[in-house]
Structure formats: structure tokens, C-alpha cells
Amino acid sequence: MEKRPLTRDRAIGRLMFYSGLRVSELVALDMEDVPLSARKGQVIVRAGKNDDSRTVPLTDASAREAMAEWKRERAAWPGADTGALFLNRRGSRLSDRAVNLFLDGLAADADVVDENGRPALSAHTLRHTFGTNLTRSGVDVVTVAQLMGHKRLETTRRYTLPTQTDMEAAVAHLPTDE
């Protein structure tokens, strides 16, 4: 039997991957914090770390569609009359722990595990991937820091450390005796 993820869970995964939110920021979102249109969207983080706020553009069409689908389906869920964007099955705001458990399950289903057999997908992994993808696409570190809600560039630079493959490719540029 094929598992079909909940519309809510698909929206969470795509939103985290394409916005780089911290899990605490994700679960604090309210309905009005993710305005969408056919061509663009944004995520308004009102409860960032240190109570900072920021706006992250949501340009990926699949992420916007997943969010729009969740918002439509959410109307039939218990708690739909509350402001919380992501609800649990009882109608309460989804917790950090519930998101992390969902991601652990997703990793286990996809057999994405670390060398110790533990799930290798987490909210932080998605956030790290967001920062890494931006920097590898040539986005400057100041912009990446702003999008991720970092006050210090040193924090952002940790997300952009070269991999072993990056270092091998760099050394391959050296002249050889051949």
C-alpha cells in the first residue's frame, strides 16, 4: 500500500524547503502570514528568533500550490476558526515536536538515514539546505543572512562551508606537470 502524505504535511515540507524557516517559526505562523497569489507568495515571520520579523518571498510554484491546497483543505479541519496556519487533528496549533516526528517518519519511509541508522532529515536539515542552495546559486551572504533571519554573517557562513567534493574540485584547478 502506498502512503499518501497529508496535504498539510506536503505544505510543511515544501514551505520549509523553500523558505528556510526554523521549526519554531513555522508552527507560529498564522493564516495571514502566508499570502498567496497565482504568481507569487510570501512568508511573513513575525515570531523569529529574538522576536525579529522578516519576510521571505515564496517563489516556487509547487510550494505555493501545496500551501493553497492546504489552506483550502484546512477549512474542514477542527480548529479552522483559529488563526493557526498548521493544525493537528484535534484542532490545536501544531507543535515543534509534531513537525519533527513527521520529518523523522518521512526520512524513515524514504530510507534517508545517517551512518548510525537514525533519520537524516530534520527541520534544521531543510533550513541548512535552503541556505546552502542559495549560496551555491551565487546569492551573496548578506542576502542569505537576511532571508534566514541571522543577525551575524558568521552564523550564515556556517551554512556555506565547502564539502569534500567542493574542496576536491577546487584543488583540481591547480596546474599539473602533465
99-123 pLDDT, tens digit per residue, is: 999 888 887 777 777 778 777 788 8
The radius of gyration computed from the CA coordinates of the chain, to the nearest angstrom, equals: 18
Cα 83 to Cα 157: distance, rounded to the nearest angstrom:
35
Please, what are the domains in the chain? 7-120 (1.10.443.10)
Which strand (E) or helix (H) includes residue 43?
strand 42-45
Run means of pLDDT, 10 residues per run, the chain, 178 residues: 69 95 96 93 87 91 95 95 95 94 82 77 89 91 93 83 86 88
Provide the pLDDT for residue 5: 59
> For 145-155, what is each residue's pLDDT tens digit?
999 999 888 88
Cα 127 to Cα 49: distance, rounded to the nearest angstrom:
14
Provide the pLDDT for residue 152: 86
Which residues make beta-bridge pairs with 36? 41
Active site residues: 22, 49, 124, 127, 150, 159
- Rounded to the nearest 5°, which phi and psi values hold at 54? -160, 165
pTM value? 0.84
Cα 71 to Cα 67: distance, rounded to the nearest angstrom:
6
Provide the pLDDT for residue 1: 35
